[in-house]
Amino acid sequence: MTVETLVPFEEALTRYDPVMGLEIHIELNTATKMFCGCPTEFGAEPNTQVCPVCLALPGALPVVNAKAVESAIRMGLALNCEIAQWCRFARKNYFYPDMPKNFQTSQYDEPIAFDGYVDVEVDGETFRIEIERAHMEEDTGKALHVGGSTGRIHGADFSLVDYNRAGIPLIEIVTRTIEVPPEKAPAVARAYVSHVRDLIGGLGVSDVRMDQGSLRADVNLSLKPKGSTTLGTRSETKNVNSFRSVERAVRFEISRHAGILDAGGRVVQETRHFQEDTGTTLSGREKSDADDYRYFPEPDLAPVSPSREWVEELRATLPEPPAVRRARLQADWGFSDLDMRDTIGAGALDLIVATVEAGTTPQAAKKWWLGEMARRANESGHDLDALGITPQQVAEIQGLIDAKRINDKLARSVFDGVIAGEGTPEEVVVSRKLEVVSDDGALGAAVDRAIEGDPDAAAKIRAGNLGVAGALIGAVMKEMRGQADAGRVRELILEKLS
């Protein structure tokens, strides 16, 4: 492997313009697979959700899942696409051990949805991303690479394949070339993926979890020298498992391509894999003329011709458009424009919605998700929804604070416990002994000791100088190891010194 020289992002953009496209694969949350009645539950025992169809046993035939078509049409409509009057499935032929038929049943030149767009916002500016197509296809199985030192595919001795995932419905959404100011490209890429996640999540057709692979983004990128019209060779980066990674992958590939081009090299057309730990990409498989997929219309499946009545019925089921919804939420919540921008930028909109639905005020929900949770997400490199804590749990913790059973500081320890899998917030409070002391007897004794220990302060308070109460409160809190309600301590001190 050659060592690549990276050119810093900003410097790269002085000489090159990025040409970017994004492909998003959405795993639908249908009860059954795309072409057979096998269940689709995540995390089932290996090869327990397989049948003659999805194992490609000789003789088996596919039948299309109606719900998947319905979901595809609703997604197409949400992406402002045209819905095909008539379209077919097609076979994409290539050999791979995780693909039982050695062809993927997909769509080729007749996608179910095409010519759409979405408007995404970055730093208060709106960018229109054009959608070329959204088509139906199926997922592959999963190979576990055994042996070798890395556990990765390279150097493995053999592989173990589980076909539970083979045949789960996927919708692939392909953008046209995204044309934005070069320096905005990484942020726009991230915002687009985040926007699509919210949009599709709002339809209820997918779990849209990047960390679980139900939303997967591929970044296609090439550079062209400034002023040139010649397109460069593109790389296709897969394994981008978070919004943050989308942004990092775009930045890294721009730096990498620029390094190669500056050195007079040739960018290889290939699949690359994003490395979460280093923020870099590694070479996967070189695309070559061997990738001749020999697409042809799938003769085993009937064409799909959704009636206009059906399409209109499905259009009527769409939730309000994102812009309308945001405006409504902003008004309901009383957020400033800046609050709203931060919320969307952090991918926290739906999390805050859910937290508020679970009984918390919008302000409190925002405080946690954009503060404590955003900090944790940033540190761990996860997206907010992959932190291991749910909006319901956040709401529960805020409830404990409101009930004065814990305070903000203790809440952080509750978050730690919940994220570490120690149980519900309630259980964590108990097991970590975090509950604040609300027993006036115990608190009173601590207050007495504090007054005794600092007679000067006590005298000043008696004289009406309440500004020094903080010193006594601090002493009490210290003795109680933080597990006291500071407000109540203050009340007790003032009572005793009045």
| 290 in contact with another protein (CB under 8 A) | yes
Does residue 50 contact residue 159 with C-beta atoms inside 8 Å? no
| The binder of another protein chosen from 128, 158, 183, 445 (CB under 8 A) | 158
- Separation of alpha carbons 448 and 61, rounded Å: 81
| 462 in contact with another protein (CB under 8 A) | no
- Separation of alpha carbons 452 and 498, rounded Å: 15
User: Binding marks (x or -) toward another protein, 91..110, rule CB under 8 A?
Assistant: x-x-xxxxxxxxx-------
Q: Which residues contact 258 (CB under 8 A, 6 or more apart)?
A: 6, 7, 11, 12, 15, 16, 223
Of 20, 493, 490, residue with least CA distance to 250: 20
| 325 in contact with another protein (CB under 8 A) | no
Residues 327-366 that bind another protein (CB under 8 A): none
Does residue 61 contact residue 54 with C-beta atoms inside 8 Å? no
| The binder of another protein chosen from 6, 156, 203, 494 (CB under 8 A) | 156
Shortest spacing between CB 234 and another protein, in angstroms? 17
Could you give the residue ranges of the DSSP H alpha helices within 134-242?
A: 185-203
Q: Which stretch binds another protein (CB under 8 A): 117-125, 199-207, 293-301, 440-448?
A: 293-301
Q: Which stretch binds another protein (CB under 8 A): 11-19, 284-292, 430-438, 456-464?
A: 284-292
Of 30 and 235, the one with the shorter C-beta distance to another protein is: 30
| The binder of another protein chosen from 231, 263, 268, 302 (CB under 8 A) | 302
Q: Which stretch binds another protein (CB under 8 A): 286-294, 333-341, 428-436, 467-475?
A: 286-294
Number of residues this chain uses to bind another protein (CB under 8 A): 75
* Phi, psi angles (nearest 5°) of residue 401: -70, -45
Residues 25-44 that bind another protein (CB under 8 A): 30-32, 36-39
Find residue 367's DSSP bridge partners: none
Of 63 and 420, the one with the shorter C-beta distance to another protein is: 63
Q: Which stretch binds another protein (CB under 8 A): 244-252, 258-266, 287-295, 330-338?
A: 287-295
| The binder of another protein chosen from 140, 206, 220, 280 (CB under 8 A) | 140
| The binder of another protein chosen from 11, 57, 408, 495 (CB under 8 A) | 57
| 50 in contact with another protein (CB under 8 A) | yes
Shortest spacing between CB 64 and another protein, in angstroms? 5
Burial classification of residue 147, based on how many CB atoms lie within 10 Å of its CB (0-12 exposed, 13-18 middle, 19 or more buried): exposed
Shortest spacing between CB 76 and another protein, in angstroms? 16
Can you spell out the DSSP letters for 22-54? EEEEEE---SB-SSS--B--TTPPTTSS--TTT
- Separation of alpha carbons 256 and 248, rounded Å: 12
Does residue 436 contact residue 484 with C-beta atoms inside 8 Å? yes
Helix (H) or strand (E) holding 251: helix 243-262
Give residue for tokens 């000789």. Answer: 58
Of 152 and 462, the one with the shorter C-beta distance to another protein is: 152
Q: How far is CA 35 from CA 52, 73, 165, 214, in A?
A: 11, 17, 12, 18
Of 58 and 264, the one with the shorter C-beta distance to another protein is: 58
| 317 in contact with another protein (CB under 8 A) | no
Q: Which stretch binds another protein (CB under 8 A): 126-134, 153-161, 383-391, 403-411?
A: 153-161
Does residue 332 contact residue 362 with C-beta atoms inside 8 Å? yes
Q: Which residues contact 26 (CB under 8 A, 6 or more apart)?
A: 75, 170, 171, 172, 173, 196, 200, 205, 206, 208, 214, 215
User: Binding marks (x or -) toward another protein, 230..269, rule CB under 8 A?
Assistant: ----------------------------------------
Residues 63-92 that bind another protein (CB under 8 A): 63-69, 86, 88, 91
